[in-house]
Chain A
Amino acid sequence: MDLLRFITAGSVDDGKSTLIGRLLYDTKNILADQMEAIERASKTRNSGEIDLALLTDGLRSEREQGITIDVAYKYFQTPNRKFISIDAPGHIQYTRNMVTGASNADLAIILVDARHGVVEQTRRHSLIASMLGIPHVIVAINKMDLVGNSQDAFLEIAKSYTELAEKLSIKDLTIIPVSALNGDNIVERSPNMGWYTGETLLSVLETVNVLKDQNQEDGRFAVQYVIRPQTEELHDYRGYAGRVQSGTFKKGDLVKVLPSEQESKIAKIEFGGNEIEEASVLESVTILLEDDIDISRGDSIVSLTNSPIVSQDIEALVCWMDDRKTLKPGNKYVLQHGTARSRCSVRDIEYQIDINSYEKLDSESLKLNDVARIVLRTAQPIAYDPYQKNRANGAAILIDETSNVTVGACMIE
Chain B
Amino acid sequence: MNTKRNENEFEPKILGFLCNWCSYAAADKAGTMQKPYPANVHFIRVMCSGRVDPQFVLKAYEEGADGVIILACHPGDCHYKEGNLKAVGRHNMLLRLLKQFGIEEERCRFDYVSASEGGKFVSVITDMVGTVKELGPLCLNGK
A associates with B: no
